[in-house]
Amino acid sequence: MLRHYIRKEWRYICRDKVFTAINLLGLTLGMATCLLILLYSVFELRYDRFHQHADRIYRITTSLYANNKLITNSALAPVSAGPTVSGEFAEVTLQGRLVSTRSWFDCNVSYTDHGSAIVFHERNLYYADAAILSIFTFIFEQGDPATALTSPFSAVITSSVSRKYFGDANAIGKVLRMKGSSDEHDYTVTGVIQDLPENSHLDATILLSMHSLENNIYFKNFDCYTYLVTAPHTDASRMQAKLRDFSLHYRPETLGKDDRIHLSLQPVTDIHLDNWLHDDMQPAGNKIAIYFLIAVAFAILLIAWINYMNMTLSRAVTRAKEVGIRKVSGASRLQLLLQFVVESVIVNALSILLAMMLVYFALPFFNSITGIDVPYSYLLTVLFSPTGILVAIVFTGGILFTSIYPAQAMASYNPAVVLKGKVSGKSKGGVLRKALVVFQFTCASSLAMAVFVFYEQFTFMQRQNIGIDIDRTIVVKAPSMVDSTYQARMANFKTKLQRQSVIRTITSSSSVPGEQIDWTGVIRKENDEGRLNFAINVVDEDFIAAYKLRLLAGRNFVQADYPTGKFGDKVEPVMLNKTAAIQLGFNAIDRSIGSFIYWNDEKCEVIGIVDDYHQQSLKDALSPIVFTANQGPSMSLKLQHDDALSVTHAIHQIRHHWREFFPESPFEYVLLDDLYSQQYISDKRIARLFQFFCLLAIVISALGLFGLVSFTVRQRVKEVGIRKVLGASPVNLVALLNKEFLLLVGIASVTAGPIAYIGISQWLQNFAYHIDLTGWHIIVPVLLVSAIALSVISLHTVKAARGNPVDALKYE
């Protein structure tokens, strides 16, 4: 019988090609969309789970308090925290630290071969304990992980770094010269590891032995990322409580007398999505958006299954006589039920196969939308993981439900009623069909509203005045090879470009707009015990004018303000932004000039106040910034505002003269506009996904409505013919046929409004500066979806209303 059912279903597929095509296309798109979203979501949710002991790896985080007031929560811990905790807690089996060079003024790595030097600025360079190679799962291509970082001045690099410096040659034994503001030495490559997967919070590309810093005079002041591995079956909550008690008497050397530090444990698998800390390696993900995407995935899948159920229930009336004859011929209810279930399972199984093929071919396009590179192999990894099993259960349950319910409805026909021709089909699932249409258009309308608001929010942020001029600005890393000729070369470089009308001015700073200021300091007002954590930006005397910052009070820096030796040898002049001045209690801005503040224990004099500007995205509130005078490692080259001067031509000219004056330093640049916009990459990625999947949801909903209206109009052809004979106009007929479906779409639109409003309001709270939701954000998407639905409905109703009644009634 199973073979008979399969053969019979194939006949139905061939006989009603439109019905079959709509069902297959809707199910295939729904399933493929669900699989793609799940692939992306699992990729985000499984950050750092590829490590062998991922469930036992924790990072020590810190909360700094001054006079019992929280100053900052940081992903960094004092350099002594790891060894101290490891010695105190028997539960800790391994501890390792990573010291970033990101806050150093500069960090260059060079390789000299046959007299020619290859030099790059390295941002993702860390000093690492040898235990780091055991804590995390690094795949070694060359070298021995047991000894790779045990000796001072040894280095482990990724395969991409190896190719960058050495090409295809064996990297082991090669010598790299590292030059930074806190260290300069030769390092021997002792290991090459594979590049870390994209779903890792670690961004290290070069690891240097921590033993290399043993004689560094600043070592005790360093903060670092500290990781622990606990013994199996360790109770994390109990250890967290013990660590809290331990924090009460733990006092690192750098801690002030009125300060205290609280240590906490953060599971490494939570770092990417549960990250609200300062000083982290990479921007955090958005867990709420991921969960919302998963909900969207299953909503789209439900829409596809709803289309299938609606179409199947609508077609039930055409198979009523078949059911009646089979029952009279002796077929049991169970046999009929099994027949219809098998038919539905065949259609769903065929859709799954087509969806898998579509996912395979669409993955590169999907990767371009998300901005991440999910490999094909990851698809198999997910499918054969516990997540894949859960998805299989959901798919199986959904397929069975969407198969059994229509099958039960068709198998329940009374043969006596059917064979008398008294079945109209209106009683079989009519209410359910209407409810399902309302549900799917509620989902589609909600997604359309979300996409509209996303677009409005990003447009709002792009149009906002950020308080600083970032147009036509090229940012390059300042030359690191500084000698007695540096100032003269820099002056000649600047003069030559200005004479050629390429640049307007050059300024340097430790941080440029669009990037997080890594250097922070504890600031207090003189004769005030309250301490605050402020960002520190080192700028030269041209920074204020170059970026067109508004000086509210006081004066700008001059070269005489630069430190004469070590910072703090004199009362150092500093400038504050408006937010910093207010937080320090200088309510009258002009009265702050000449006041003294303390940066840690160093006395500083406030010489100027600049207006606030958005150092980072509008997602963040304005942050307090202290400016101190010196040459910084980032150079900002402000191009002339000349329409005839293209940015490409300017870059070519700058590169040419850079090689002339600074041949020993690489010319690596970024456009400041691009750097600033990178802050919104994660949100733009989510917005692109919503736009794409909203379009698919509307297409699938419209596809189902198209099939349903098509079938309904076919069932009412004779009714339309009779009404036309009796004098009904085409307008009356179109209104009659459209009324029911437009009412359902209208109910869906009204339902979608509150649902979308709640979700969108929560999303907007992620932005310190955001648009206000208005009625137009609800009305416009609703009108758009309603217009699409009306167009789909009218394709059939207008044709039916304009048809010749003779064609509909000639067989009567």
Q: What are the tens digits of pLDDT across the range 498-512?
A: 888 888 888 989 889
Both 543 and 662 in a single domain?
yes
* Structural domain count, the chain: 3
Residue range 244-297, pLDDT digits in tens = 889 888 888 777 677 788 999 999 999 988 777 888 888 777 787 788 888 888
Both 670 and 780 in a single domain?
no
Place of tokens 């093929």: 357
Domain coverage including residue 597: 473-679
Whether 282 is covered by a domain: the verdict is no
Whether 278 is covered by a domain: the verdict is no
pTM of the model: 0.78
Cα(141)–Cα(193) distance, rounded to whole angstroms? 5
Both 80 and 169 in a single domain?
yes
Cα(467)–Cα(670) distance, rounded to whole angstroms? 21
Residue 805, pLDDT > 70, answer no
Residue range 387-402, pLDDT digits in tens = 778 778 888 888 887 7
> Of the residues 214, 240, 270, which one is the last residue of a structural domain?
270
Both 664 and 687 in a single domain?
no
Both 511 and 595 in a single domain?
yes
Task: State the sign of the Cα–Cα–Cα–Cα dihedral 317, 322, 326, 331.
Answer: negative
Both 34 and 180 in a single domain?
no
Spatial CB neighbours of 655, under 8 Å, sequence gap ≥ 6: 667
Q: What angle do CA 762, 764, 765 make, to 5 degrees?
A: 65
Instruction: Please check whether residue 193 is in contact with residue 156, taking contact to mean a CB–CB distance below 8 angstroms.
Output: yes
Whether 83 is covered by a domain: the verdict is yes
Task: Look at 763 and 671; give whichever has higher pLDDT.
Answer: 671
Both 688 and 670 in a single domain?
no
Task: Look at 106 and 525; give whichever has higher pLDDT.
Answer: 525
- Name the percent of the chain lying above pLDDT 90: 22
Residue 427, pLDDT > 60, answer no
pLDDT at residue number 8: 61
> Of the residues 638, 664, 679, which one is the last residue of a structural domain?
679
Residue range 100-136, pLDDT digits in tens = 887 666 678 888 887 777 888 888 899 999 999 999 9
Q: What does the block give as tokens for 327?
A: 């029952």
Task: Look at 516 and 329; give whichever has higher pLDDT.
Answer: 516
Q: In b/e form, how buried is each residue of 475-501, taking b as 16+ CB within 10 angstroms? A: bbbbbbebeeeeeeebeebbeebeeee
Q: What does the block give as tokens for 426?
A: 């209106």
pLDDT at residue number 144: 92
Both 519 and 391 in a single domain?
no
Both 156 and 175 in a single domain?
yes
Whether 712 is covered by a domain: the verdict is yes
Place of tokens 């199973």: 2
Whether 425 is covered by a domain: the verdict is yes
Residue 741, pLDDT > 50, answer yes
Whether 49 is covered by a domain: the verdict is no
Q: In whole angstroms, how far apart are CA 49 and each of 92, 511, 704? A: 20, 33, 40
Whether 467 is covered by a domain: the verdict is no
Both 661 and 687 in a single domain?
no
Cα(337)–Cα(174) distance, rounded to whole angstroms? 73
Whether 283 is covered by a domain: the verdict is no
Angle between helices 486-499 and 647-661 (to 10 degrees): 150
> Of the residues 679, 701, 730, which one is the last residue of a structural domain?
679
Both 438 and 482 in a single domain?
no
Both 325 and 244 in a single domain?
no
Cα(31)–Cα(7) distance, rounded to whole angstroms? 25
